[in-house]
Amino acid sequence: MSTERSFLAALRALPNDPAARGLLDDAAVLEIGGVRLVLTKDMLVEGVHYLADDPPADVAWKLLAVNLSDLAAKGARPRAALLGYMLGEEAWDLAFLAGMQTALASFAVPLLGGDTVSGPAGSARVLSLTAIGLADGPVPSRSGAEAGDLLWVSGSIGDAGAGLATLRGELAGSEPLVRRYRAPRPRLEAGQALAPLVSAMMDVSDGLLIDADRLGHASGVGTTLELEAIPLSEAFLVACGSDRDARLRAATAGDDYELLFTAAPGRASQLLALAETLGLPLTRIGRIEAGAGLQVTEHGAAVALPDRLGYEHGTG
């Protein structure tokens, strides 16, 4: 089995186009005749990215939402989707379609086409979606963070991971945590409002620590993340508490689909005012420094990095 890391290294060595952003970003940005298209494609595999007994309507929602989250991170508004669908059991298929219709309507995105295939008997179902967005202004990359910038995140971190643990019977979490796992909300409005204010932005899909490390790496800077500053929800606090282990759990769990971004310190009051307007917390969780690598602190003292910073299952 290839490791994803070695495959991606080979993929990135192919000759590529500036629009590909080195295959290091959440999405491609293609400028054609004054129009700025943002393109992303994410797949979900049964048993890997969703559970076989997850409700099909939730799987449909998630398939669209994870793609729209990439658009959100680039400040784009969704314009269209293409679906790659593997047929299975008919009741599941129809429930999936009904869920997809709800999700498409909720985000006002038309489904423009795609492909429908059959898989061999017993194969895991594979679902694919391509989302096409339009950006009206600047499209933040992962690579624009500069020493001196502050590191911010939207919403709360760790809820989806706690929801997954609940579904697996490993945690006594509440329904809101499960909803965060099954039905993530892409931060589209926030992404569009943040795009002109940030120096770098991405979505948190694989875990706060691994994604912060990627942002620092893409920008050629060091990242310091303050564990005590990570925003946790009430539901997470009830289920997991807020000690160091709980915070590390939240920061390595994945599936948050929040926005992680950097901005010059002078932007702070503007960002806090924007949070009020959006009704979505924007929380300063660290800082960017000259150098390289990820450092985690707790009340100023260095904390050893966990062995696993998050999931490695996505190119964006």
Smallest gap, in angstroms, from Cβ of residue 235 to its own copies?
29
Amino acid at 23: L
Q: How far apart are CA 227 and CA 248, in angstroms?
A: 8
CB of 96 to its own copies, least distance (A): 10
d(CA 241, CA 19): 43
C-alpha to C-alpha distance for 95 and 16, rounded to whole angstroms: 39
Pick the closer one to its own copies by CB: 17 or 53: 17
Bridge partners of residue 225, in order along the sequence: 286, 296
Site for its own copies in 194-233 (CB under 8 A): none
Residue the block writes with tokens 């809101």:
176
Residue carrying structure tokens 């910038």: 149
**Minimum distance, C-beta of residue 254 to its own copies, in the bound complex (Å):** 14
Task: Report the residue number, 42 or 159, with the smaller CB distance to its own copies.
Answer: 42
Site string for its own copies, 124-143 (x = CB under 8 A): x-x-x-x-x-x---------
Out of 30, 229, 238, 303, the residue judged to bind its own copies by CB under 8 A: 30
The residue among 73 and 288 lying less far from its own copies, judged by its C-beta, is 73
Q: Which of 51, 54, 55, 97 binds its own copies (CB under 8 A)?
A: 97
Give the span between the Cα atoms of 213 and 305, in whole angstroms. Answer: 11
Binding flag, residue 51, its own copies (CB under 8 A): no
Q: Is 301 in the site for its own copies (CB under 8 A)?
A: no
Distances (CA, A) of 220 to 59, 143, 169: 36, 7, 40
State the Cα–Cα distance between residues 80 and 113, nearest whole angstrom: 9
What three-state secondary structure class fits 143?
A: coil
AA letter at 34? G
Report the residue from 54, 55, 80, 284 that binds its own copies according to the rule CB under 8 A.
Answer: 80
Closer residue to its own copies, CB minimum distance, 132 or 271 = 132
From candidates 53, 120, 168, 279, binder to its own copies by CB under 8 A: 120
- 59 in contact with its own copies (CB under 8 A): no
Q: Per CB under 8 A, does 84 bind its own copies?
A: yes
User: Hey, is 243 helix, strand or coil?
Assistant: coil
Taking a C-beta distance cutoff of 8 angstroms, is the pair 75, 137 a contact?
A: yes
Instruction: Tell me: does residue 39 bind its own copies (CB under 8 A).
Output: yes
Q: Is 47 in the site for its own copies (CB under 8 A)?
A: yes
Among 53, 90, 279, 299, binds its own copies (CB under 8 A): 90
CB 237 within 8 A of CB 160: no
Output 5 or 299, the one with its CB closest to its own copies: 5
